[in-house]
A and B are shown apart, each in its own frame.
Chain A
Amino acid sequence: MKLIQPLVQGNLASTVRTGGCGECKNSCQSACKTSCTVGNQVCQKQ
């Protein structure tokens, strides 16, 4: 490929089968308390 360079290859879609354990952090509790920023949490299974 010449014009497009992969930087990060994710696999979010596959987590629909493996996720849902409910152990990760509640999203606004630890820092902001006023916005929902789920995407910057870390999966506790990793």
Chain B
Amino acid sequence: MANWHCFKALERFFLFDVLSNSLFSVTEPVYDYLQGRPVKAADLVQIEADLAELKGRGLLSDTREIEPEIVREPLLKALCLHVSHDCNLRCRYCFAGTGPFGGKRENMSFEVGKKAIDLLLRNSGGRQQLEVDFFGGEPLLNFNVVKQLVAYGREAAGSCHKQIHFTLTTNGLALDEPVRSFLNREEIALVLSLDGRPGINDRMRGKGCYEKVVPNFLALIREREEKNYYLRGTFTAFNRDFSEDAAHLYNLGFRELSLEPVVELEGEYRLSGVYLEELKKEYERLAELYLEKRRQGAGFTFFHFEINLEHGPCLLKRLTGCGAGFDYFAVTPAGDLYPCHQFVGRSEFLMGDVFSGITRLDLRTEFGAATLYKKEGCSDCWSRFYCSGGCHANAHFINGSIYKPDQIGCELQRKRLELALALKGIEMYEK
């Protein structure tokens, strides 16, 4: 049933109500009953009484949601500024084709970046909280423009009573003291790229990379009191035991982790469906590590395990997803606009530029309408309000359509969500 999901995770049984976002601890007979297995007569009476009571209290939904009419103004919210289409690494799995996204290696000028920020501010309506991510390539190869754009963005946003939250994604090679000092002083949220153990990291990111970047990352997080960052790694078929990489990163001193499966169509490091069960088991090991550290009172954050059942986003946000191509765009060094950073270089998705604005209104309408109900298989999936139909770019990359989610990604998403719910449940139970 798409409204409830009963599952076993971390040696316990849980029931999740999709529409209310309520979570229950259940006994094994309840689990068996909801899986359609036979249960003892005495248990059956109690199970049905308990379920009826919860339905009566509105905590279990009897019917699925009525699909609300989604009306949204086409306002901007976030930009991903590709300030450099060049890179000082040559990572094998890079979706930017080692920096230039199939184009030429170039940096963004201040003028183009300024136009992008102006476009964001001018087209964000009443929204006050806006976002700009400095991305690449490697954005620190154009550090002077980053500095200029932060100063300009803060001033321009302030003058129209808005706030821009800046993030920057970096491979860490250029994180010297003056750069770190700037990023910390300006409270720029950071995504730090590192895959884990030295051999694992250097196999994909280049020999000697680990040794060069780890001291920089450690100095950086120490100087910012270990806040406002994510250590973000990619795992591939070469490290299907990625919980070992998480443990390694934790032992180095990193507490805010995000490890993502590589999205690739071919190559020896591709994560094909053959590995699915193995990867699910590995997420279980990661959840056990997470639980162990949290029980010890040690800080440990894993991006996909951090869910907020009580104060998460509203239903409209969950139906409409990440906003790529509608209120979120990527900007190339030349000023071209694409639905998001992963679409950059795919000419059929060129949507305008920072000088003329968004000109492909047809595409914007299409992206805006690509809610989870329009995506294949999503309406009946119990995790629909957590992934919102999944990543448009991954769907298009794997299946040639933003409406056809990558099924391996879906399986992993559901597994991560089960574990996130179980971790939340155990935390509540042990409080």
Contacts and interface: CB of A to CB of B under 8 A. Distances in A.
Nearest to B306: A40
Q: What's the dominant secondary structure at chain B's contact region?
A: mixed
Interface stretch (B19-27, B149-157, B201-209): B19-27
Given A7-B428, A38-B388, A39-B417, A2 B50 contact: yes
Interface residues of A, number: 43
B19 A36 contact: no
A14 to B, nearest CB: 9
B59 A9 contact: yes
Contacts of B78: 26, 29
B82 to A, nearest CB: 12
Given A26-B77, A33-B232, A8 B22 contact: yes
Contacts of B27: 3-4
Given A35-B413, A36-B391, A37-B387, A42 B311 contact: yes
Interface in B144-168: 165, 167
Contacts of A9: 20, 22, 59
Contact of B131 (A25, A38, A40, A44): A25
Contacts of A16: 68, 314-316
Give the size category of B's interface with A: 35 or more
Nearest to A4: B50
A33 B169 contact: yes
Given A15-B315, A16-B68, A27-B321, A37 B304 contact: yes
Interface string B72-93: 1001011010000000000000
B391 A34 contact: yes
B24 to A, nearest CB: 5
A32 to B, nearest CB: 5
Interface in A14-28: 15-16, 18-28
B323 interface: yes
B129 interface: yes
Nearest to B18: A12
A35 B262 CA distance: 11
Most buried by A among B49, B312, B341, B385: B312
Given A5-B25, A12-B19, A26-B77, A38 B387 contact: yes
11 contacts: A4-B30, A4-B47, A8-B22, A8-B425, A12-B19, A16-B315, A22-B72, A31-B191, A31-B303, A32-B230, A38-B313
Interface of B: 14-15, 17, 19-27, 29-30, 43, 46-47, 49-51, 53-54, 59, 61, 65, 68, 72, 75, 77-78, 80, 95, 127-129, 131, 133, 135, 165, 167, 169, 189, 191, 230, 232, 258, 260, 263, 303-304, 306-318, 321-323, 327-328, 340-342, 385-392, 394, 409, 413, 417, 420, 424-425, 428-429
Interface of A: 1-13, 15-16, 18-44, 46
Given A8-B309, A41-B317, 8 more contacts: A2-B46, A3-B29, A10-B22, A10-B310, A13-B19, A15-B316, A16-B316, A42-B311
